[in-house]
Structure 1
Amino acid sequence: MTSPARTSPPTAGATARPPRPSGRPNGQWKVDGTTPLNHNEAFKQESDPLAVRERIESVYALQGFDSIPDDDLHGRFRWWGLYTQRRPGIDGGRTATLEPHELEDRYFMLRVRIDGGALTTEQLRTVAGISEDFARGTADLTDRQNVQLHWVEVESVPEIWRRLEAVGLSTTEACGDVPRVILGSPVAGIARDELVDPTPVIEEIQRRFVGDPSLANLPRKFKSAITGHPSQDVVHEINDVAFVGVEHPTLGAGYDLWVGGGLSTAPRLAERLGVFVAPEQAPDVWHGVVRVFRDYGYRRLRNKARLKFLLADWGAERFRQVLEREYLGHPLPDGPAAPVPDQPGDHVGVHAQKDGLRYVGVSPVVGRVSGPQLRQVADLVEAHGSGRVRLTPHQKLVVLDVPPERVDPLVEALEGIGLTARPGPFRRRAIACTGIEYCKLAIVETKATASRAITTLEERLGDLAHLTPLSLHVNGCPNSCARIQTADIGLKGQIVQDDDGDQVPGFQVHLGGGLASQDRDEAGLGRTVRGLKVTADGLADYVERVVRRYDADRAEGETFGQWAHRADEEALR
């Protein structure tokens, strides 16, 4: 998808105004005017970031990496899902001291946008082929329902786009200051207990607004989630906007609207606006929330530019008023909160669909797969009577539409290629970010570290099968792509000191976080203990120690999160 060039901000709802009479401007277009206050804002106005596609196809893919200017390479390329990846051999202690050109390789991470995580086997096979032909066989399933590939050269990007778009996929706005991929329930349209199918809403938002130039210059990234399933399976509390299925006593099935969630270094959970959104209204309400962010979001400092900071200052009541009066032109009815989930939202295992078929959720290890493995998945799924899969916000994969008599053979076949429908408790609940292997921001390795820890823990803690599975989230830096603050045990990568006084890779520990879809009565952020850090090599030892202490100390029915928040610091070390 291409778009016409635009050199100035959209005029609708964003008219330039005189600066504030006092105080420092925050770069809010509707308050301070549209004059850029930093270089990021300047380059977004100088040239529509989406227009970089034409230069990639006609110049950079022909002339190579060295022909790419800085604002395109480190800026506008993100609007098409491209980041330079980390150069091998640079240790984590140097991450914060080197310039981008010193950290980066001449290869790219490419993010394939998959709204709602929905893939046909033809699309999955296409992604597998791109991985095999252009990405050295790499592939990761992310906790945003995307697929990430590595080792991509700019010369290959036009052919990659051609193959993706031939089967209805794209990398449009997979990164950048734009509406990112829309999380959707992996069992949308098929679950027996679904309140409302979000698929039409996701498809309309995608059709109307992805690649829209008027939304291509937001203050920062904008994350969305939509589900109609009672497990609330899209981690809605940590998205900029989320629609959660609910039954209104008089208006029927629709959505509860949440706004302003996000993690990173300043975590904040989203808030309910207290409104009910009918399914047919949801795309316009989504559009309204995005435009509030575009016009009122803070642009002066990028570390204060997410929607959560605006909501923290305004509060939910004022946000609702601005949304209704300035962007929708009508009030929304008050609505009830969705009930607390009574089931996990990862969809692992075998489950009945509403049409009598089955869906099968399987777990790789912390999202790490490969191109050949994805090709095998496509072949096996088709051989067992299905043609659809879904990716989940928990780095899992769900096969839809399996005839009951084909379930057991499919489960065994997937097990044979490393994808299990019967994972152990730590494998089931673990996720990990990309880590230092490819990411320029990372300080420590994550995927292999998490994998080793999972194997060790499931060997050592087999006698604690009576415990509810615990979530283990491993992140390579402070930015929380792996949602460390919302895990039972969250690990933030940093350099730590071992027992010999040496500087080694390790983690700061967060304990007792969780979301409503993770066996929690309510969402909450994890607790940190002053000075509590573990080395990467000592990770499994620490987790074993704290889990056994929880088992010994817990009260009847007490969850790990409840215990972790009340326990003495010494018990958590």
Structure 2
Amino acid sequence: MPPASAATGHKPSRPRRGEGQWALGYREPLNKNEENKKNDDGLNVRRRIIDIYSKAGFDSIDPADLRGRFRWFGLYTQRAPGIDGGKTAVLEPEELDDRYFMLRVRIDGGQLSAAQLRAVAEVSTAYGRDTADITDRQNVQLHWVRIEDVPAIWERLEGVGLSTTEACGDTPRVIMGCPLAGIAEDEVIDASEQIRQVYDDHIGSPLFSNLPRKFKTAIAGCSVHCTNHEINDVAFVGVVGPDGQPGFDLFVGGGLSTNPMFAQRLGTFVRPDQVSEVWAGVCSIFRDYGYRRLRHRARIKFLVKDWGTEKFRELLEKEYLGYALPDGPEPTLDPGTRRDHIGVHRQRDGRFYVGFAPKVGRVSGTGLSRIADIAEAHGSDRVCTTADQKLIILDVTEDRVDSVVAALEAEDLEVRPSTFRRQTMACTGIEFCKLAIVETKAKGASLIEELERRLPDFPEPVTINLNGCPNSCARIQVADIGLKGQLVTDGEGNQVEGYQVHLGGGMGLNAAFGRKIRGLKTTADELPDYVERVLRRYLAKKEDGEAFATWVARAEDADLK
């Protein structure tokens, strides 16, 4: 007799291919990235950079190191100049590579002393053609770095306690934290010690230097949730526990890119002294059970989605911690609070912090040095980075606030910025990034200037995020207006730089991913006209007090085009 499947007309089901999960016995590499990591730990490339590549030059670099293990120390080759976005997905990696590098300096918790900021500035001016970008993960990115200069750069950075170790790669990347930790009047808990402990215990450890993909962490007790716990792989969020003592609520599985997912609560309460151990447990689950076959499915969010939080929590407690975590409360969210800490605000000790806005995070080494000068001249030794490409000077006495504000604004660093300066972010874009399709930084800056001219008194906190490719480094799906770079057809039938538009995304109490309207795209040249048009319609048609995202959810498609 034929098999039952043939008799019924159904094809026999095929067993699902192994996902390369180590804990299930699948240790053989299923793609080139996994093979590269098995051949040699990415952490080992540091010695080769110092001893071989920096001395023999770019042409001496092993391709497996150049496009793989270099990332374990924050190094990516830049995009070679003059390659248009239409060739991004067509050319081979070696055709896209420039002979210069982007170097990412990790700034865990966003905390910098004036001396550390000055060191970054000096590296930028001496070795990076005065480039510097503040990222939306609190790092600083430098460009035009030569391999010959990397050891000297490391020596300068490490001399003041900074590092590029695991700033990129399939590793635990920078630990995000509230820049106001320990000074905010309304914080739930100061998480500074927990960030330090996780860094000291685990960053640079071979135990976690071969993860399926990147692993992003946030640990904060900020009352406005400035680290955006909703979109991190693991997040510890400050709450007051059942016994009245502060601790953390645990979230896992957040991330954006081409398949966005919000992190999910495990429902546990984590004491401050447990954070490092619990972090290691979550990271170990990702290492051991994470999917390693397909790179686009190798983030922890896919594991959490497939398993559910109940199974994830059970495995964490039974197999990795050896004890049960108590149930805990949810964090308190506010739907309308801005998370960027911009402006002048009182600290708990009576002094003030001053948050200010460069345009789309783009500064310079010279500019960073000037910021360090301003801070020190006004009695401050602390400058912090935020998750929104902004900066903050801490510990300013009341009598010096006006002077700090004046000095910053003389450098075009606005303390009381327009909505557009304050709420617009942009990724690196095609200027330096090999994944990008369109330009973003200059376009974002010019968009700000144009909207300030056209809508000078625009009152609403509308976020505008520009991304050069689909990977959402600039968080397009959770912006009010998210702009995903792609090539589009203009009115004359030409392929030109443009953006697919996402509308009405956000985080917080009303978290949602932006709405995509069929066919809603704009060319880069027409972008200011489009944004002005949709914002004017919003002002004309919104109900009293209605947020942009709420209006988008009920608006007719015609009003959004």
1:280 Cα shift? 1.0
1:281 is matched with which residue?
Answer: 274
2:104 is matched with which residue?
Answer: 111
1:248 Cα shift? 2.0
Q: 1:40-74 deviations in whole A, cap 9, x for unaligned?
A: 11110111110000000000000000001111000
The question of 1:535 aligning with 2:535 is answered no
The question of 1:415 aligning with 2:403 is answered no
Amino acid at match of 2:278: V
Match of 1:177 among 170, 173, 177: 170
1:7 is matched with which residue?
Answer: none
The question of 1:349 aligning with 2:350 is answered no
2:260 is matched with which residue?
Answer: 267
1:144 Cα shift? 0.6
2:116 is matched with which residue?
Answer: 123
1:134 is matched with which residue?
Answer: 127
How far, CA to CA, are the matches of 2:52 and 2:338 in structure 1?
A: 48
Match of 2:421 among 420, 424, 427: 427
How far, CA to CA, are the matches of 2:159 and 2:444 in structure 1?
A: 36
Q: Which moved more, 1:175-184 or 1:247-256?
A: 247-256
| SS of 1:164 mapped into structure 2 | helix
How far, CA to CA, are the matches of 2:458 and 2:66 in structure 1?
A: 50
The question of 1:440 aligning with 2:431 is answered no
Amino acid at match of 1:378: A
Counterpart mapping for 1:472-551 below 5 A: 472-516=464-508, 521-551=509-539
| SS of 2:510 mapped into structure 1 | coil
- The answer to whether the 8 Å contact 1:340/1:522 transfers is no
2:44 is matched with which residue?
Answer: 51
How far, CA to CA, are the matches of 1:215 and 1:344 in structure 2?
A: 34
- The answer to whether the 8 Å contact 2:503/2:552 transfers is yes
| SS of 1:548 mapped into structure 2 | helix
2:11 is matched with which residue?
Answer: none
1:458 Cα shift? 1.4
How far, CA to CA, are the matches of 2:121 and 2:448 in structure 1?
A: 26
Amino acid at match of 2:498: G
| SS of 1:171 mapped into structure 2 | coil
1:249 Cα shift? 3.7
Match of 1:330 among 303, 319, 323: 323
Amino acid at match of 2:550: Q
Q: 1:452-493 deviations in whole A, cap 9, x for unaligned?
A: 11111111112433xx22000000000000000000000000
1:12 is matched with which residue?
Answer: none
1:251 Cα shift? 4.3
How far, CA to CA, are the matches of 2:547 and 2:397 in structure 1?
A: 37
How far, CA to CA, are the matches of 1:278 and 1:539 in structure 2?
A: 48
1:243 is matched with which residue?
Answer: 236
| SS of 1:244 mapped into structure 2 | strand
1:22 Cα shift? 4.2
Amino acid at match of 1:482: A
1:13 is matched with which residue?
Answer: none
1:4 is matched with which residue?
Answer: none
- The answer to whether the 8 Å contact 1:123/1:167 transfers is yes
Counterpart mapping for 1:89-488 below 5 A: 89-341=82-334, 343-465=337-459, 468-488=460-480
- The answer to whether the 8 Å contact 1:25/1:32 transfers is no
1:554 is matched with which residue?
Answer: 542
How far, CA to CA, are the matches of 1:229 and 1:95 in structure 2?
A: 39
Match of 1:40 among 33, 36, 46: 33
1:555 Cα shift? 2.1
Amino acid at match of 2:376: E
Q: 1:509-542 deviations in whole A, cap 9, x for unaligned?
A: 00000111xxxx3211100001000011111110
The question of 1:24 aligning with 2:17 is answered yes
TM norm structure 1: 0.94
How far, CA to CA, are the matches of 1:505 and 1:141 in structure 2?
A: 24
Unaligned runs of 5+ in 1: 1-20
How far, CA to CA, are the matches of 1:276 and 1:251 in structure 2?
A: 12
Amino acid at match of 2:506: G
Amino acid at match of 1:74: R
Amino acid at match of 2:558: E
1:23 Cα shift? 2.6
How far, CA to CA, are the matches of 2:458 and 2:164 in structure 1?
A: 43
1:550 Cα shift? 1.2
- The answer to whether the 8 Å contact 2:419/2:458 transfers is no
Q: Which moved more, 1:558-567 or 1:292-301?
A: 558-567
| SS of 1:464 mapped into structure 2 | coil
Q: Which moved more, 1:51-60 or 1:32-41?
A: 32-41
- The answer to whether the 8 Å contact 1:26/1:32 transfers is no
Q: 1:531-571 deviations in whole A, cap 9, x for unaligned?
A: 00001111111011111111122123321111112212111
| SS of 2:550 mapped into structure 1 | helix
Amino acid at match of 1:306: R
How far, CA to CA, are the matches of 1:239 and 1:285 in structure 2?
A: 15
- The answer to whether the 8 Å contact 1:264/1:478 transfers is yes
- The answer to whether the 8 Å contact 1:444/1:477 transfers is yes
1:158 Cα shift? 0.4
| SS of 1:462 mapped into structure 2 | coil
Q: 1:413-472 deviations in whole A, cap 9, x for unaligned?
A: 01111211011001101110000000000010001101111111111112433xx22000
How far, CA to CA, are the matches of 1:553 and 1:26 in structure 2?
A: 50
How far, CA to CA, are the matches of 2:541 and 2:345 in structure 1?
A: 35
Percent pairwise identity:
60
Amino acid at match of 1:348: I
1:118 Cα shift? 0.5
| SS of 1:254 mapped into structure 2 | strand
Unaligned runs of 5+ in 2: 1-13
1:131 Cα shift? 0.3
Number of residue pairs matched by the alignment:
547
How far, CA to CA, are the matches of 2:183 and 2:546 in structure 1?
A: 34
After superposition, the CA RMSD in angstroms is: 1.0
Amino acid at match of 1:416: A
Q: 1:275-306 deviations in whole A, cap 9, x for unaligned?
A: 11111111111111000000000000111000
- The answer to whether the 8 Å contact 2:18/2:26 transfers is no
